[in-house]
Amino acid sequence: MLKHSALTGLLAAVPSAVLAAEPGADAAISDPAVHFDHLWNEMLVDITAIGIVFSLVALYFLVRYRRRHAGEQGRPVKLTALAAVGWAVIPAFAFMADDFYLAAKALNLLNDYRNVPGDRFEVKMESAMWSWTYTYPNGTQAVNELRVPAGKPVVLRMTSKDVVHSHFIPDFRVKEDSMPGRVTYLMFYPQKPGEHVATCAEFCGMMHSKMFGRIIVMPPAEFQAWYDGETRKVAQEKIQQKGV
Amino acid sequence: MGTVLKEWIFTTDHKRVGVLYLIGSLAAFAIAGVMAMLMRIELSTVGPTITANPQDYNVWLYFHGAAMILGFQIPALTGYLANYCVPLMIGARDVAFPRLNALSVWLFWGGIVLALLTFVIPDAPDIMWTGYPPYSLKTGGNTAFYTFTVLLIGFSSILGGVNFLTTVAYMRAPGMGWNRLNVFVWSIVAAFIIQLIFVPVLGTAVTMLLFDKYLGTHFFDPVAGGDVLIYQNLFWFYSHPAVYVILLPFVGITYEIFATFARQRIFNYKMVVYGGMGGVLLLAGEVWAHHLYYAGMPDWLRAGMTVTTLLISIPVGLLMIGLIGTLYRGAISFQVPMLWALGVLFTFFVGGLTGIPLAMASLTFHVGDTAFIPGHFHYVMAVAGTFAIFASVYYLFPKMTGRMYNETVGRIGFWFTFIGINLVFMPMMIAGFRGMPRRYYDYSQFPQLEPMHQLMTVGACIILVGALVTLYNWIQALVSGEKAPANPWGSKSLEWTTPSPPPPGNFPTAPVLGDNWTPYDYGASLTART
């Protein structure tokens, strides 16, 4: 077990955290964004197939049974009781089978989103009209800009100062609301260095559409250097405050 | 003129009440449509286009959503269509409580007038039609306006529910058994059962909002022990079933039009009524939390709601099979009402299929609250419902006015609208998948989506042309259309046995139903009847 769910409790968290720290363990952590795209494509094939079948049948009927002269009437089909029941029950079970197939896939993906690895980078986020404030474990704060190391899962522990917001990172296929009075979580797994948009997806007033920031994914070494520098700054600030 | 106006305002005749509903809801549709045009023009470029104030945009969007759902679709389908058709279809002289009926149309008009005052007051509501707290409590916008509009229209719906359920239960013509009812009548029964169960919940939710904002209670204030999510649950506990209040009647009237223009019996009537409509009714109240998938919901609830929401595809699939099956071995004519009804089939189908990913909690983590959502629900509900309402106006036009519309102009109006909606809502879903969130005044973080937004704006202009052509057609026909016969379509349903327009009391002689009578008794004779 390289990952644990919130439901399996604290006991499972200890060994998985140890295991995940071993070299090569990262490869086994699944990236929800990759699985999302996979399921999305599969679902598109599914609905396109249903769409084509129904459309072809409807189109055929429309052409084949068009009215040819003004007085023409339809030729009703009298269904036997068995046929009537069959036409209801067989499609119902076929649809139900497809529903449960999709539900099973969806629940699997849900697990990818919630199985948060023990070895993660956890940042606190507080949303307010109209900005995101990130607080790193060392106490550093940043507004609308989150720097994270590549190759390590990131967890945001979120709350909101005023109204409901939603932290949406389209590139990582993830969003979760933040709200006053509750703590919510969001996990994503940046693989490569780069920049991504984080934008608000829950209507929050006048500047809703301007409430966005950047997620900057840095090479791990570069990130570490930056982070250590910030840690020193925070420590110095504390010393200065005590001195005063 | 004065007496005519007095006759209309104080009418208790169900047909006139229906027409009053139609006029009011079309007015709401027109103004909400203007708001949509303003929004589309605003979004045609990155940065400010016609207003530099995002608040303007938010008020347009609030009005568009609230007026289209509460002022147009629900009243047009359960007010105008139910009033006009149900008593005629069941062979009744009027509804069970005609004066209550008049009261409900007055309440509706009160709600419409209140909603229109949005543009007069200085602090217009800007809380979207959902009105989520804490924003709706903190905003300087006038949340009370929203609450009172919802309450007025809600009371109107409840009175309508009592009235129509009683009417269908007790006012059917002799011999009109339950299994002989028009599919549309069944859809109204199901829709009003939903309204009676769930409207009070919405009333409660918006009243709590009013109390929190103006009377100092703390239902939604976490600092004082409240919870912001209670509102979202109460709101969607009504507002998801409300989708079915719209869906069932628009599917119902589409069935009527399909049967009439294909001159064919409903395919597997009992499957459609009990499996399709009954199934939707049963599942209506078990899926609301899919609107809260990424609002900090526990995973076990996400899993459960994924399953119940997916199961909605069963009754909806049966309704789809019934519609397509009704075309089988029919004699299909493509007159204007049928064109719009086929438009319903198409948009409802696209919307239904794109709803499947939205049932799956884990897929909404990306597409939820993006433009994919408005793209999807416009197809499945907004456009499909509007197409059905337009189809019904064309279908009932000879009956309501005694005049015929122009076929060619009607076709032009349809094709413009049909092409336009696809140019708006297909790109909208794609933009949503590419990250465009909904309810955005601007999108400077996604400049690459500008061409797509421009395409949508072009589509909106094409819809506008289609809508204006349609409106022109109706007005022109009303003023100088040819006189309509009693039954221009050769329909077998009871409403077409009355003169056009039907006199007060509907049936000059009480309808007599033979042993083998059904409203879809086609194929019995081969004599020409156009």
In which element (H, E) is residue A195 found? strand A194-200
pLDDT at A30: 74
Nearest CA in chain A to B135: A163
**Inter-chain CB proximity A205 and B139 less than 8 Å:** yes
pLDDT at B3: 87
Higher pLDDT, B399 or A16: B399
The answer, yes or no, to whether residue A2 has pLDDT greater than 60, is: no
Residue-wise burial string across B450-462, b where 16 or more C-beta atoms lie within 10 A, e elsewhere = eebbebbbebbbb
* Predicted confidence (pLDDT) per residue in B159-191, tens digit: 999 999 999 999 999 999 999 999 999 999 999
**pLDDT average, residue stretch B144-155:** 93
User: Which chain B residues touch A30 with a CB distance below 8 Å?
Assistant: none
Instruction: For chain B, give the percent of residues with pLDDT over 90.
Output: 90
Interface residue B366 vs chain A (CB under 8 A): yes
* Predicted confidence (pLDDT) per residue in B180-224, tens digit: 999 999 999 999 999 999 999 999 999 999 999 999 999 999 999
> Would you place residue B67 in the very low, low, confident or very high pLDDT band (cuts 50, 70, 90)?
very high
Three-state SS string across B242-281, please? Answer: HHHHHHHHHHHHHHHHHHHHHCCCCCCHHHHHHHHHHHHH
Average pLDDT, chain B: 93
DSSP B291: G
**pLDDT average, residue stretch A70-93:** 92
pTM of the predicted model, to two decimals?
A: 0.92
**pLDDT average, residue stretch A62-90:** 92
pLDDT at A28: 55
* Predicted confidence (pLDDT) per residue in B289-307, tens digit: 999 999 989 999 999 999 9
**pLDDT average, residue stretch A85-114:** 93
* Predicted confidence (pLDDT) per residue in B452-501, tens digit: 999 999 999 999 999 999 999 999 999 999 999 999 999 999 999 999 89
In which element (H, E) is residue A214 found? strand A212-218
User: Which chain B residues touch A92 with a CB distance below 8 Å?
Assistant: 275, 314, 317-318
**Inter-chain CB proximity B275 and A88 less than 8 Å:** yes
- B residues 178-197 lying closer than 8 A (beta carbon) to A: none
User: Which chain A residues touch B228 with a CB distance below 8 Å?
Assistant: 164, 179-182
**Inter-chain CB proximity B363 and A95 less than 8 Å:** no
pLDDT at B210: 94
Nearest CA in chain A to B59: A206
The answer, yes or no, to whether residue B133 has pLDDT greater than 80, is: yes
Residue with tokens 């899926």: B287
* Predicted confidence (pLDDT) per residue in B243-295, tens digit: 999 999 999 999 999 999 999 999 999 999 999 999 999 999 999 999 999 99
**Inter-chain CB proximity A177 and B295 less than 8 Å:** yes
**Inter-chain CB proximity B446 and A46 less than 8 Å:** no
pLDDT at B316: 95
The answer, yes or no, to whether residue B387 has pLDDT greater than 50, is: yes
* Predicted confidence (pLDDT) per residue in B91-127, tens digit: 999 999 999 999 999 999 999 999 888 888 989 999 9
User: Which chain B residues touch A177 with a CB distance below 8 Å?
Assistant: 294-296
**Inter-chain CB proximity B440 and A209 less than 8 Å:** yes
**Inter-chain CB proximity A62 and B342 less than 8 Å:** yes
